[in-house]
Structure 1
């Protein structure tokens, strides 16, 4: 019986059919159990990301339990501050979208009169309707951008008016949120022991391979996520403080926008830049140029210093690959896909380079 099964198993088509069936059954299982798995994954993800902070407190000779309590106090303060800044941002951007035609009218008038001011050839009458239409198109584009941004922030605050309401709706209810928070406390406190127990669940011959893969996963995916969180915080701080020094209204909220959207690489400074420049325009062109300088410096520091130093070592992904991963993730899974696209690409790169290219299938076909 065993020999007959072995001969059947040698057929590659049989193996492919069995593997496809197993993947289908796994997909069905995940689809049926996703509400429970989402709670577990949320709890584990937070514990995994916050674990270095607890280790930092332990390095300062604080008990681990006290470190966990401090982490959750910091989380509560962050959620409260972020909810306040998001609400303020919605109010100000809504007002800005309504006043946008008035703010842009001097700019368009100045551009149309620029040739006459410079005593150059006047703008031909045939081009004036085209320039006017281009001006209206730019105004509509900026207004649509602001309205889309406001709708996204309003959706973020729709449930309960704060980020806790958003997390509640994301997980499916208050009970799921409380369960995830309780589980994350246990995960965070016992994470090293849980990691050792999970490793022992694999057969002994495979434990070194699993440990190696987990280490590479932590270095690439975990390193990227933690690094991107740190970069997002620093970029938001730079943009907020810089715009505050320039005198741009709502500088703290604009820094918050820059930090939140910077979780998606290459997006944060751009998203916060448009409303920052429009708000700066209320104070004159000098303030616009200073705000533009602040955003340019923040973008340069992120791209040439913070990104390569903190995140680049973890992923080593080409910018085109990272952007493609963001676009594909956003298309397939929305905001969460955009956030997780680059970590998933980094993990696939580890599997491709360290395991697939070393396999017999890659070498022999």
Structure 2
């Protein structure tokens, strides 16, 4: 019987068919178990990202349990503040979208009359309809941008009227969200022990390789995610404080908007820049120029200081590679793809440089 089985298994077509069948069964099992896996992955992701904070408290000789409690207290305060700022942003964006024609009319009239002021020769009559059409296109573009941004921010509030509704929709419901938060407490408290237990699940000869890969992934992928969160916080802080000093209305909400969208590199300053400049326009040209200076400074600090120092050390990705990863991820999976594009590229770079290029296949063909 065994000999007959060996002869059958020696056939490569049989092996391929068995492997394809196992892959199909595993895929169907994953589909059926995905709701439960989604809760577990959400809980683990939060515990993994918050673990450095707990280690920070432990380094200050605080008990680990107290560190976990402080992390969740901070999470509750952040969600409350973020929900308040998001609600303010919705109200102000709605008002801004309605008053956009009134805000733009003086600027467009000045723009149309600019050639007559600069040159002694007036603008030809044939060009005036073109300039007027270009002005209407600009107004329509800004109107569409504000409406799209408003719909996205309203989506953040969710049906529950706060950010918990948004997170609940991501996980699959309020019960699933509460289960994920509860599990994340256990994950966060026991994360080092769980990591050691997971390593013991692999065969002993492969455990050093798995541990080495886990360290490198933590340094690249985990370092990028945590670093990008820190960069987003710093950019949002600079935009909020800077616009507040300039006197732009709703500066705190604009800073929050810049921080949220800056989870995708360089997007936050651009997204918050349009409503910031429009709100600054109500105070005159000088306030617009000062608001533009604040946004430009935040963008320069992100690109030349925060990004290279905080995120660049973790991923060591060329900016073109990072932008390409964001574009490809967004085209495949939308917003989640844009968020996960750079970590996926960093993961592939680790596999390419540290494993593929060290393999006999790469060296010998």
Match of 1:137? 137
**Which runs of structure 2 are paired with 1:321-360 in the superposition (5 Å)?**
321-360=321-360
The alpha carbon displacement at 1:327 in A equals 1.9
**CA distances 1:149-176 after superposition (whole Å, capped 9, x unpaired):** 0001111112201011111122122211
State the alpha-carbon separation in 1 of the partners of residues 133 and 20 from structure 2. 55
Deviation at 1:29, TM superposition (A): 2.5
Alignment RMSD, CA only? 1.9
Q: Report the CA distance shift for 1:360/1:135 in structure 2 as closer, same or farther (over 3 A).
A: same
Unaligned runs of at least 5 residues, structure 1 = none
Distance 1:285 1:55, change over 3 A: same
Per-residue deviation, 1:345: 1.1
State the shift of 1:363 in Å: 3.9
Which whole-Å CA distance do the structure 2 matches of 1:313 and 1:225 have between them? 12
Q: How does 1:96-107 map to 2 (within 5 A)?
A: 96-107=96-107
1:61-140 alignment to 2 at 5 Å? 61-140=61-140
Inter-partner Cα distance in structure 2 for 1:123 and 1:16: 74
**2:3, 2:98 → 1: CA distance?**
76
3-state secondary structure, aligned to 1:208: helix
How far 1:24 moved relative to its partner?
3.8
In structure 2, C-alpha distance between the alignment counterparts of 1:39 and 1:133, rounded to whole Å: 51
2:247 alignment counterpart: 247
8 A Cα contact 2:157 2:163, kept in partner: yes
Aligned length: 364
Q: C-alpha distance in 2, partners of 1:363/1:241?
A: 54
> Which residue does the alignment assign to 1:54?
54
Distance change in 2, residues 1:20/1:280 (3 Å): farther
* Secondary structure of 1:62 counterpart: coil
What SS does the aligned partner of 2:190 have? helix
Give 1:33's aligned residue.
Answer: 33
1:175 aligns with 2:175: yes
* 8 Å Cα contact 2:158/2:169 also seen in 1: no
2:241 touches 2:251 (CA, 8 Å); kept in 1? Answer: yes
TM-score (norm 1): 0.95
Give 3-state SS (helix, strand or coil) of 1:160's partner: coil
Q: Post-superposition shift, 1:356?
A: 2.0
Deviation at 1:215, TM superposition (A): 0.4
